Amino acid sequence: MQERDQNLKQLDRLTASHALHSSESLCKLLRYIAAHALDHQGAPLKEYQIATEVFGRPADFDPQVDSTIRVQAGRLRVKLAEYYGSEGAEDPILVELPKGTYVPTFRHRTSSGIRTNPHSGEQSRQENGEPRGSDRNRVTAIIVLAILLAAAVIAIAVLLTIPKSAAVSHAASSPAAPAAFQTFWKPFVIGSNEPWVIFSNAAFTGRPETGLRYFDPAKDSRDAVFDHYTGVGEVLGVHELDQVFNLLNRPIRVKRGSLFSLDDIKNNDLIFVGSPSENLTLLEIPGTKEFVFQRLTSGRRNGDLAIVNAHPQQGERKEFLASPENRPFTEDYAVIALMKGLNPERSVMILAGTTTFGTQGAVEYVCRQDSVEKLLLRLALSDTGESKPFEAILHVKVEHGVPVSTELVAVHERTQ
């Protein structure tokens, strides 16, 4: 019973963690499969069972056609790895979801980081005349404490000989994030003020209980605007950016687009999350020049929002559009752009898809070390080691409302 209680407490830590607490669906999945593992040890768990009992899929759910559960399980594995690689690095219990199964494992790990089952092998060691675990642990603890005490004395002596300003300078220069992040995000870290993240919140009219529609300036009064909503991708995007800037030891300031002003644009480094169709502040400042958001005025996609390639290079398409509204939504396109602000000493980044899912994909792309490293290989750097202004376009694959993969389609250098 004690071990079960420990496992349940670990689940509480996980679901309340920075990595997982914002995803209700992943927390729900984790608690369900963990309860199954604890209550039915050794029993397998079927994809169909999870789909119908956790995600409310109908009785005719077919896992061969619908990959929802596999996608969610993959996301959960990533989040577990993220948690144990950061805030859960010292947790005594490791929860894993091995590939090929939906039954999690609970492992205890020693102070040396070796994962073990509690008490495994202790009886054989005692039979061979080896010291009991408690005695050996006591000796080990004394040795470790002695070493730590000696190290502390040395550290204090060294610090007393170093000027305070030098110590602070050394701490500030210590790398706190991957080199790729430090290079890519440098324009937003070196300024005297924290960067601002401006997320879109489109203007609606009407009421949630009776129906909402986009505000039409030709026939609607500004007094009737209802601007309390933003997309799921924008919300998750702000969360991803917050995590990256925490690594960079740099706070961010978050503000919704409808409350933004031109004075804010002149005085701050800015990161816009969301397309100009909903982040209307982008219409008031110089925007993208290579990959431009436009509504088509002819053809079978007339009226749809597209990203238009203003200067197509060899092999590049002229227009990029998300899945049409009369078909299952499986793809979107997004822009990543870095440029100088209205004040040339400030920087502006735009992370925007034609839908909220593309926006989420763009933000996730610049918040993951492997994809940032790939992007940096395509960018030119200034003499000071910063990325020169550029615009890039991404293809975002979407499954069941979740961006599952992104591909860098094209990168254009930008001339100011």
Q: By residue range, what is the domain housing residue 169?
A: 135-174
For residues 313 and 357, membership in a common domain is answered with yes
pLDDT digits (tens, 9 = 90+) for 362-404: 999 999 999 999 999 888 887 777 888 999 999 999 998 889 9
DSSP symbol at 355: S
Residues whose CB falls within 8 Å of the CB of residue 214, separated by 6 or more in sequence, listed in order:
202, 203, 204, 205
For residues 285 and 405, membership in a common domain is answered with yes
The number of folded domains in the chain is 3
Q: Is residue 356 left, alpha or beta, with left meaning phi > 0 and alpha meaning psi from -120 to 50?
A: alpha
For residues 326 and 240, membership in a common domain is answered with yes
For residues 92 and 160, membership in a common domain is answered with no
For residues 14 and 79, membership in a common domain is answered with yes
Q: Give me the pLDDT at residue 82, please.
A: 86
Instruction: Go through 249-279 and write b for each residue having 16 or more CB atoms within 10 A of its CB, e for each that does not.
Output: ebebeebbbbebeeeebebbbbbbbbbbbbb
Angle between helices 68-84 and 24-39 (to 10 degrees): 90
For residues 188 and 155, membership in a common domain is answered with no
DSSP, residue by residue, 172-207: HHS--S-HHHHHHTGGGTSSSSPPEEEE----EEEE
Per-residue pLDDT of the chain (416 residues; tens, 9 = 90+): 688 888 899 999 999 888 888 788 889 999 999 999 888 888 889 999 998 998 888 888 888 777 778 878 888 888 898 898 888 888 999 999 998 889 999 988 765 554 544 433 333 333 334 344 445 555 454 454 454 445 444 443 444 444 544 434 444 444 468 888 989 999 999 888 899 998 887 667 776 666 767 667 677 776 766 666 777 888 899 999 999 999 999 999 998 877 776 667 778 899 999 877 665 555 555 678 899 988 888 888 888 889 999 999 999 999 999 999 888 999 999 999 999 887 888 899 999 999 889 999 999 999 999 999 999 988 888 777 788 899 999 999 999 888 999 999 999 998 76
For residues 164 and 272, membership in a common domain is answered with no
Residue 337 CA to residue 351 CA, distance in Å, equals 7
For residues 87 and 139, membership in a common domain is answered with no
Residue 125 lies in a domain: no
For residues 166 and 58, membership in a common domain is answered with no
Give backbone dihedrals phi and psi of 183, rounded to 5 degrees, phi first: -75, -50
For residues 170 and 203, membership in a common domain is answered with no
Residue 342 lies in a domain: yes
